[in-house]
Amino acid sequence: MLDRAAIPRRPSRRAVLKGGVLGAGALAVGVALPRIAGAAGGADGVVHIGASLPLTGPYEKVSRICKDAFDFWTRTYDGKMVVAGRERAVKWTIYDDENNASRAAQLTEKLISDDKVDLVVGTYGTDTVLAQGAIVRKHGRVFVQAGASSIRVDEELGGHTAFTANGRVGTYCAGAMDFLASRTPKPKKLGLVIMDDPVYHEIGQGVKDKCKQHGIDVVTEVVLPMNVQDLRPTALKLRGAGQLDIVYNTGWDVICIKLAEEMSAIGVNPKAFVGGHLTTSPVVKETLGSKMQGIIGSTVWLPQFKYRDDKYASAQEFAEKFKATYGYLPTYQAAFSYILPYIYQQALREADPQDPFNPKTLRDRLSRLDLKDTIWGPVSFDERGRIRRDAAPAVQWTGDPAAAVIVAPADMAESAGVYPKPAW
């Protein structure tokens, strides 16, 4: 029917108006309903902590670890936090930001203006933390985070809005590179694999700086798109670069697994393979099995570290208790997630009972914070709100089944390390 339809009955203007009002009313009710249902209060005697995590998507595994660690902290303190000298019950609200920056912003807005949380802890991922920070900043609030270590956090939010409990990513390679540079014969050639995203370029820049310092040549540098599937072309590129002494992967755990698999499949045998900052993820060891032998990883925390706090006599004890509860050994993400509410607890212990969560005083308290003993090591922040810490120790997997031992820096080392590593 292409012709203009005959009009059966002309509706009165009133009817049209009525229709519009009804439609809009339906919208308003629809929007208001969940609001009423989800109403929660910053009731007295309760500390309401809000967070979002990328619970679905590529960071799913890591964020589950973070979530477990939040829970572990809550269990450790029996669900209570001492604020302004008074014990209060802890209440968590956690959402899934799907590693999507606009979702993270929206959820942070929800946490602050709708759920009215007292404290916000940061999510995991650079873009999402920056998006979150923009909202926190708009409200003039403060948050502690460890999920984004890029220098951009310092530039855009550091010191006034964000307090970052993790060291700069540019320093991630320090332990591993210092360790390798001290080996004999001294490594000369390095192949670098960088993911095409600012934070990975930052890690890569750190590696290049260390190479310059130690006189190592970066003979090949492969930049990969974030959605890369097949790592064999990369392995072939590395093969084409001749005998490499070191292959350094800046990417995450899956990239590390795939790169190791493909290098071993086509016979690329560098004298050392540095798997990057997520080599300690349980999935890497499980998947690579015996190929784990000799792989080096950088990590900012391990149960072997000589750290302690008021509840655990050692990081080892912390790790064992954690494993008994959740069935796996905590990674450094578990430790830095555990430390986020812990930092708040320490900062708020002696807050003003009248207005304990006042952003201005909280900011001052956080910047003055100086904790010697925590599960995460000494905690104090510089003027950009960054934890004072400048090197990530290196670990190496040795023995059968492979176990991680610290090989650098020298004062923490448990073993002399293996170089060159056995062939795949």
Whether the Cβ atoms of residue 275 and residue 268 lie closer than 8 Å to each other: no
The answer to the question of residue 91 lying near another protein (CB under 8 A) is: no
Nearer to another protein, 359 or 409 (CB): 359
The answer to the question of residue 269 lying near another protein (CB under 8 A) is: no
Q: Identify the three-state secondary structure at position 268.
A: coil
Whether the Cβ atoms of residue 239 and residue 267 lie closer than 8 Å to each other: yes
Encoded amino acid at 418, one letter: V
Nearest approach, Cβ of residue 412 and another protein (Å) = 29
Considering only 120, 180, 207, 222, the residue that binds another protein (CB under 8 A) is 222
C-alpha dist (Å) from residue 322 to 184, 318, 379:
39, 6, 21
What sign for the dihedral angle of Cα 170, 171, 172, 176?
positive
DSSP 380: E
Phi, psi (degrees; rounded to nearest 5) at 144:
-105, 135
The answer to the question of residue 45 lying near another protein (CB under 8 A) is: no
The answer to the question of residue 95 lying near another protein (CB under 8 A) is: yes
Nearest approach, Cβ of residue 365 and another protein (Å) = 26
Both tokens assigned to 422 = 């056995």
What sign for the dihedral angle of Cα 181, 182, 187, 192?
negative
Site stretch for another protein (CB under 8 A), options 17-25, 68-76, 206-214, 389-397: 17-25
Bridge partners of 247, per DSSP, are: 191, 273
Characterize the bridge pairing of strands 394-398 and 296-298. antiparallel
Whether the Cβ atoms of residue 26 and residue 67 lie closer than 8 Å to each other: no
Nearest approach, Cβ of residue 130 and another protein (Å) = 6
The answer to the question of residue 64 lying near another protein (CB under 8 A) is: yes
> Considering CB under 8 A, how many residues would be counted as binding another protein?
89
The answer to the question of residue 306 lying near another protein (CB under 8 A) is: no
Encoded amino acid at 363, one letter: R
| CA atoms of 68 and 57, how far apart (whole Å) | 17
What does 35-62 look like in DSSP terms, one character per residue? HHHT-----TTEEEEEEEE--SSTTHHH
Nearer to another protein, 82 or 329 (CB): 329
Residue ranges of E strands in 54-178: 80-83, 86-96, 119-121, 143-145, 162-164
Q: Identify the three-state secondary structure at position 71.
A: helix
Encoded amino acid at 361, one letter: T
The answer to the question of residue 289 lying near another protein (CB under 8 A) is: yes
The answer to the question of residue 101 lying near another protein (CB under 8 A) is: yes
The answer to the question of residue 24 lying near another protein (CB under 8 A) is: yes
Site stretch for another protein (CB under 8 A), options 218-226, 334-342, 379-387, 396-404: 218-226
Considering only 69, 105, 244, 366, the residue that binds another protein (CB under 8 A) is 105
Nearest approach, Cβ of residue 38 and another protein (Å) = 5
What does 319-350 look like in DSSP terms, one character per residue? HHHHHHHHSS---HHHHHHHHHHHHHHHHHTT
Angle between helix 332-348 and helix 60-76 axes, rounded to 10 deg: 40
Nearer to another protein, 119 or 405 (CB): 119
Q: Identify the three-state secondary structure at position 307.
A: coil
Nearer to another protein, 23 or 378 (CB): 23
The answer to the question of residue 117 lying near another protein (CB under 8 A) is: no
Nearest approach, Cβ of residue 42 and another protein (Å) = 14
The residues in 225-264 that bind another protein, with binding defined as CB under 8 A, are: 225-230, 232-234, 236-237, 253-254, 257-258, 261
| CA atoms of 338 and 67, how far apart (whole Å) | 9
The answer to the question of residue 39 lying near another protein (CB under 8 A) is: no
| Spatial CA neighbour of 288 closest among 258, 309, 315 | 258
The answer to the question of residue 192 lying near another protein (CB under 8 A) is: no
The answer to the question of residue 11 lying near another protein (CB under 8 A) is: yes
Binding string, residues 382-401; x marks residues near another protein by CB under 8 A: --------------------
The answer to the question of residue 36 lying near another protein (CB under 8 A) is: no
Nearer to another protein, 47 or 51 (CB): 51
Considering only 21, 43, 403, 410, the residue that binds another protein (CB under 8 A) is 21
The answer to the question of residue 56 lying near another protein (CB under 8 A) is: yes
Nearer to another protein, 30 or 185 (CB): 30
Considering only 41, 42, 43, 58, the residue that binds another protein (CB under 8 A) is 58
The answer to the question of residue 324 lying near another protein (CB under 8 A) is: no
The residues in 151-170 that bind another protein, with binding defined as CB under 8 A, are: 156
